[in-house]
Each structure stands twice: as C-alpha cells, then as structure tokens.
Amino acid sequence: MKPNNLLEMLYRTVQKFPQKDALVWKESGKYQSITYQAFWGRVYHFASGLMWLGIKENDKIAILSNSNPMWGITDFATASMKAVSVPVYPTLPPEQVAYILKNADVRAVVVENEEQRQKVLAGNTNVEYVITMYPGETFYPSEIDVSFSQLEAVGKEYRISDWEAKWRDIDRDQLSTIIHTSGTTGKPNGVMLSHGNFLSNMEAVQFWLIELLSDDIALSYLPLSHVFERMAGYYMPLSVGATIAYAESIDTIKENLKEIRPTVMTSVPRLFEKVYATVRDEIDNGLPIKRRIFNWAVEVGVERYDRYLNTPINKLVLGDGMPKDLRRKWRIADRLVYQKVKKELGGRIRGLVSGGGTLNPDVAKFFWAIDLPIYEGYGLTETSPVITTNPVVRAKVGTVGKVMPNLDVRIAVDGEILVRGPSVMKGYYNNEEATVATFDGDWLCTGDIGELDEDHYLKIIDRKKRIIVLSTGKNVAPQLIENAINESSYVEQSVLIGDHRKYIICLLNPNFEKLLWWAERNGVKSESLEEICQHPSVRDLFKIEIERQTEPFAKFEKPKKVAIIGEEWTVESGELTPKLSTRVKVIENKYKQLIEMIYADEESSDSQEQTEIPVKHG
C-alpha cells in the first residue's frame, strides 16, 4: 500500500530500520551520524517547537541553509503540521532572498548561521521569526530570534499530544513546498508541489532507474533547495533506508568521495564534465605508453557498451551477450585502468544519476566505457522534477531516457515538450497569470525543444527561447555547443551569442585555477587576470581549445570570435543561477558593449574563417 504523505513514507523506514544511520556529516573535522529513530524523534520535537511558536496549517517556513541534518528536520517537521516549506539557495544575495520571502508570504525562516540571518534582516519582509541553526557568539534570543537548539528543547518539553494523528491525516493533495525557479529569464516563480507530486514521481523513478537498497550510501553535495537533489538524493534514499552522507562542500568532493566511498550519487552534469576533463588532461600530458593503454581501455569499454545497447534485453538480464575475447580484454582493461579511476571516486560506485542539465554525450560514453554507468534524466521544478530517465536495463547515451510510466509526453508542432500527469505542479504561488500561460489545457509547456527517437527515448535540443536564429536563416541550438566547449579543462563556462546576426560568437569564462597553472608553466607573467587573458599565448591556447572542442559541429554553428572574460562569473555577481547555469540575459546585458564592438568589426564579419580571438575584460 502506497504512503499517503511524505511523513508516512519516512515513518515506514523508521519502523523498519530504527538503528540504522540515516544521515552522516562532518563536523569539526570528524564524521557524525544520526539513526533513523533519532532523526524521527528530532522531527517530532522541532514540530512541537514550531507549534509552540504559533506556526499553523498552511504557514510558510523558509529554509536558508546548506544541506545538513537540521535542513531535513525542518522540512519534515514543517510538513507534519500541514505547513509549507520554502527552500532558498544559501548562495543568493540579500535582495533575491527578500524577494522570495515576500513572494511566498513567509512567516518564519530557519537560517544556517549569522551570515544567512543578516540576509533576512536586511530585507523589507514580514518575517516574524528567525531560527538560527548555528548561532554565533554574539547571538541572543529576542522577540524575533531563537536558536534551533532552543526551539528543539522547548518542543521536547511542550510535545504535541496528537502529532501522529495530525500527520496521518495529511493526504497527497496537501501542499508540501514552494520552490522558486532559478529565474534565468526573469523573476523567479514559486512552484507549488504537493506530497503526492513528490511521491508519484518517486514511485515512477523507481520503476525505471537504479533500485536503491537499504545498504546503499548516497553522497549528497547538491543543495537540498535544488528539487532534483531533494527528490532523488534525499527523499528516495530515505524511503528505502539508505544512508545519506553530506559532502563538506563542492571544493572537497574529491576528498569526501574517498572518505565516504558512496555506492550511488546524484549530480548535475558539470561535476561529471570536470572529472572527465581532469582525467583526459592527466592522460594527454602523461607518458605515451600510459596514453596508449588508457585509450585502448576506453575503446574496449565503448565496444562493451555498444554491445550492451544492441543486445536483446532477455540476454542482458541473464548476463549474456559479451563474447569471450571481449570479456578477456575487458578484464585486463578493468585491472589496468577502470579500477584506478573508480578508486578516485571511492571505489564502490555502482551507479551515477545526472540531472539538472544536458550531459555531453562524449562525457556520458566515457563514464560508461570505464564501467561507471551514468543514468541521465530530464525534468523541471514544475514536475517534481523527473519527466524522463534512462532505464537501468537499457540506458542510451545522448538521450535523457524514457518517459515516466505515470506521465504522458507529446511534442508540439514547434518542437516544444509538453507533459501531463500526477507529478505536475499545482501552479505558481500567487501568480495565476503565469500559471495559465504555462499550461495548454492540462498539458504543462516545458519551454524545452526535444524529439522522441524510434525507441521513444527523448533527446533535448535546447531551451525554446534560446534557439539562435542567424540572419542567414540558419538555426543554432547553443546548449550542445556550449557543453562541448565547457568540456575543455581550461573553460569554466561559455555562452554563445548570435541571434539575428551573421555568425556566432562566444563569451568565455576560463577555469582560472587551471589557466594560472598553465601560465606559470609557460612563462606568462602578469599581475592581473585581465592581462593574462590578453596575452597572445593565452589567445592561442583558447583558439586551439575552441577549435578542438567544436570540431564535430557545422561551420555556421562554430563561434567565429571568442571573447575571454577576465573576471569570474558567480552566483553572487549575478551571471550564474544557484545551480550554476548561466543567466544568458544577464551576461548579454553586462557585456553588451563588448558584443557590439565584436560585431562592428566589418572585416571579420566578411571573413569565413576565425583568424583572431579578441580578449576583453568584462
């Protein structure tokens, strides 16, 4: 029998695995853990504390914090009272935080520390309570302020007598959360998702994807304010009794992988692309014999993957389909190459899940080749989030998989992907106009262009609003080209420009750490990043990199000119969304003069070849 709500889902796990570790995290340099039984008890106490504050049904409680046990305690405690959680990315600046708090009518905010507390206090909001997880030395309780531990202690004494009856009364239609979109094209909208939205999506994903086991250890590094991580990397592991281990930060992933040794992991494509670029860079700069062995091993892995893709499913299930000669070569390649790469990722990973963006097919095939299966999916905040995913029995690189069994998908005349089903949002909070504009009858308009292949696997082409139409009439889908450029270990982010122009140009943000390393080794000395980016040797470096990465694309799709931006794009400075996607409109506006200057070069615009890469500071 299916659970009626998220609390019942968690309670079933608590009953089955009370003494098993639910969460693991590092604090003061040492790993700490909490069992399912203890986690459930803290959810009860915090819910009681919220009720003592006067929080009631349908009140909105924001969570402004990096992932940690108190994030989840707040989430489940809020849901247990039929209140509504409003996750906020901790990287957002104060003005964006204030916008979300006002837009969602937030009554109380749970913040991680003093830095996040100040963001709330800086905004002109109607927040009544600020609950701080890790208060500083100068913190003291007041009419508005209370520490997380103090409220939990109050709840432990206060205790809601009918708490179980309250959460058991919650049905699937009850609003669970309001998650704001990243706002790549404008002000973010608050997506309303119910308990049933999440539960139906989890049930569908488990039909296709890796079967999560209670013995699994999932490494979590994406923020829980990201809907993909919240569903696939949090709710799903908790639903089966797996253990979730939190990475300390994105910068410590390499070390945390070796310490935690996870068996499964969810990530956005950028991490996989960085791992791929690092491995390829090390091999390309290594000894020739090492390079030959590595490339041979990858070829063997690709041959195995191609056979896997073309072998009948009944033979795959029986473990058949690999000839003896290939099996022998694969075992040698595994010992010489695959195991060494796997060891860098902890040595126990049996499956990786990629979402939140389109993964470069070359990167995906590389991971499959070295026996690290990546299952790519596709979805939106508005769909809780998964719409399609590659099934564990037959994953097809270059696609985002098959449609969830409880969803319907169709492709509109203009190529837009439309979806309907039980995981589709209730609408945008306090924005009926935007809600109506997003639906065509009962079909949600995703804003993405895609196509279904002969086997009904979905391929994403690009965002509908991002298709570049050149003045020559040719259409360019920039995302695939940008992904290819970003695959270079010297590139952090790239944005293609060219709508209604004769040709494509690229604004490029380097991987400054790698660029500085290269500059030192090649005698490029300067006191500023701007000067380094303007150096002729650096121009030549990026010219070669861009030409190499875009070689497979048509001539009109390749950037004719590239501007290397000598300042880092960040969430704080506005060029990136919290999930590290580029805000194209922001970047276009910020570098408008630079873009116009590049296109004003008539001599270059008449040339059919890329001859020089102008390098400009933003």
pLDDT digits (tens, 9 = 90+) for 225-259: 999 999 999 999 999 999 999 999 888 998 999 99
Spatial distance between the Cα atoms of 61 and 130, rounded to a whole number of angstroms: 10
Please measure the distance between the N-terminal and C-terminal CA atoms of the chain and give it in whole angstroms: 58
pLDDT at 320: 53
21-27 and 491-497 as β-strands: parallel, antiparallel, unpaired? Answer: unpaired
pTM, to two decimals: 0.83
Task: Place 614 in a pLDDT band, splitting at 50, 70 and 90.
Answer: very low
Task: Place 401 in a pLDDT band, splitting at 50, 70 and 90.
Answer: very high
Task: Place 617 in a pLDDT band, splitting at 50, 70 and 90.
Answer: very low
**What's the token pair of residue 593?**
């003069």
- Taken as a whole, the chain contains a residue count of 618
- Per-residue 3-state assignment (H helix, E strand, C coil) for 305-332: HHHHHHCCHHHHHCCCCCCHHHHHHHHH
For the stretch 305-330, pLDDT in tens is 888 777 665 555 445 567 889 989 99
Strand order in the sheet with 129-132: 145-147, 129-132, 106-111, 60-64, 84-88, 175-180, 190-194, 427-428
- Of 75-79, 181-185, 498-502, 567-571, least confident by mean pLDDT is 181-185
pLDDT at 603: 44
Q: Which domains does the chain have, with CATH numbers?
A: 1-7+34-171 (3.40.50.980), 268-423+447-464 (2.30.38.10), 467-606 (3.30.300.30)
In 355-490, beta strands by DSSP E: 374-379, 386-389, 402-403, 408-411, 416-420, 427-428, 439-440, 443-452, 458-463, 468-469, 475-476
CA-based nearest residue to 157, from 51, 274, 76: 51
**What's the token pair of residue 85?**
């959680």
In degrees, rounded to 5, the angle at the alpha carbon of residue 154 between the alpha carbons of residues 149 and 160 is: 120
Mean pLDDT, residues 480-496: 91
DSSP class of 158 = H
Contact 42, 48 (CB under 8 A): no
Q: CB under 8 Å to 505, separation ≥6 — which residues?
A: 496, 497, 498, 559, 560, 561, 562, 563, 595, 598, 599
Write down the mean pLDDT value for the chain: 90
pLDDT at 453: 94
| Partners of 192 in the β-ladder | 178, 427
For the stretch 582-599, pLDDT in tens is 888 899 999 999 999 988
Q: Is the pLDDT of residue 608 over 70?
A: no
